[in-house]
Amino acid sequence: MFDKKEVDALSAQFEAKTPQEIIRWAVDTFAPDIAMSTSFQTQSMPLLHMAVTIKPDLRIFFLDTGYHFWDTLIFREKIQHEWKLNVVDLYRDSRWDVFARQNTRTLPMQDPNLCCYIHKVQPMQKALSGLRAWISGIRRDQTAERSHAKILELQDDGLLKVNPLLTWTKRDVQAYMDEHHLPRHPLYERGYRSIGCAPCTIAVGSDDDDRAGRWAGRGKTECGLHTDLFKHKTLNEVKDQFVLKPEEGK
Ligand code: SF4
């Protein structure tokens, strides 16, 4: 529908638009072939709130990795119920079940890139196949990798990634949360300012970067959903990035 040149031009124009204007454009252009993803952490709430205000039945993908804090799962249920969200839980492919069960306790530490690939990257790739657009909540101020992202990114397979909050800062998120009285993840007040899976998240101090508690001390800052890893569709293309070398289904 759009070629790369058109997407780049639109993306440049969108730098001056509000997140709501970008979401509205994406919904008007792609619905029903569009979904957003969320982790239900505190900083995810503004985008979720904006998106379902614009399109209440928007499909919302939640990666149920099996490693979440109970607090996250309970918070997710509460928000889904109160906001009447159309949440779709995504799980690892069953071909990994034997390997994942045998390595449940050690995998996040032994090979977090493979663990994220199995529990996040592959399920999201599968859920998005057949859709035309994916709304994500990344911001440029979060990681070095994200600082180079564009508001619209066209993948080789034709999927358009839409990043409406890219130009927002932590302060913008806070201001929106306050203005709309949005609920915070229950662990937020205990120092968990960026929350992923329990084995890979620790609380941080008030002077620390928000994401300092993610994979702390392990040289990893991204799960792979927002890196080049996501563009590769088969295990063979990416397996040299993993410590373990399992075959799917073995
Ligand atoms: S964040 Fe940790 S536990 Fe969750 S999928 Fe990635 S490595 Fe596994």
- CATH code of 4-234, in short, is 3.40.50.620
Which residue, chain included where needed, has tokens 């990114």?
153
Rg (CA), the chain: 18
> Ligand 1 centre from 41 Cα, in Å?
15
Please, are residues 40 and 185 in contact by the beta-carbon 8 Å criterion?
yes
Residue owning the nearest CA to atom 1 of ligand 1: 197
Chain segment 192-218, per-residue pLDDT in tens: 988 999 999 989 988 888 888 898 888
Which is the closest atom of ligand 1 to the Cα of 198?
3
CA–CA dist 245, 239 (Å, integer): 7
Domain boundaries, the chain: 4-234
Q: Which residues line ligand 1 (CB under 6 A)?
A: 65, 67, 108, 112, 115-116, 119-120, 196-197, 199-200, 223
Sign of CA dihedral 95, 101, 103, 109: positive
Which is the closest atom of ligand 1 to the Cα of 119?
5
Q: Is the pLDDT of residue 250 over 70?
A: no
> Do β-strands 34-37 and 86-90 pair in parallel, antiparallel, or remain unpaired?
unpaired
Residue owning the nearest CA to atom 4 of ligand 1: 197
pTM of the model: 0.94
Chain segment 212-227, per-residue pLDDT in tens: 889 888 888 888 899 8
Q: Which residues contact 174 (CB under 8 A, 6 or more apart)?
A: none
Please, are residues 184 and 45 in contact by the beta-carbon 8 Å criterion?
yes
Stated as kind and residue range, the H or E segment containing 133 is strand 133-135
Which is the closest atom of ligand 1 to the Cα of 120?
5
> Do β-strands 152-154 and 160-162 pair in parallel, antiparallel, or remain unpaired?
antiparallel
Q: Hey, which residues are catalytic here?
A: 223
> Ligand 1 centre from 113 Cα, in Å?
8
> Ligand 1 centre from 111 Cα, in Å?
9
Chain segment 66-113, per-residue pLDDT in tens: 999 999 999 999 999 999 999 999 999 999 999 999 999 999 999 999
* Confidence at residue 245, expressed as pLDDT on a 0 to 100 scale: 81
- Residue 27, classed as helix, strand or coil, is helix
* Confidence at residue 233, expressed as pLDDT on a 0 to 100 scale: 84
Q: Is the pLDDT of residue 174 over 80?
A: yes
Please, are residues 43 and 142 in contact by the beta-carbon 8 Å criterion?
no
> Ligand 1 centre from 119 Cα, in Å?
7
Distances (CA, A) of 224 to 11, 69, 230: 22, 20, 6
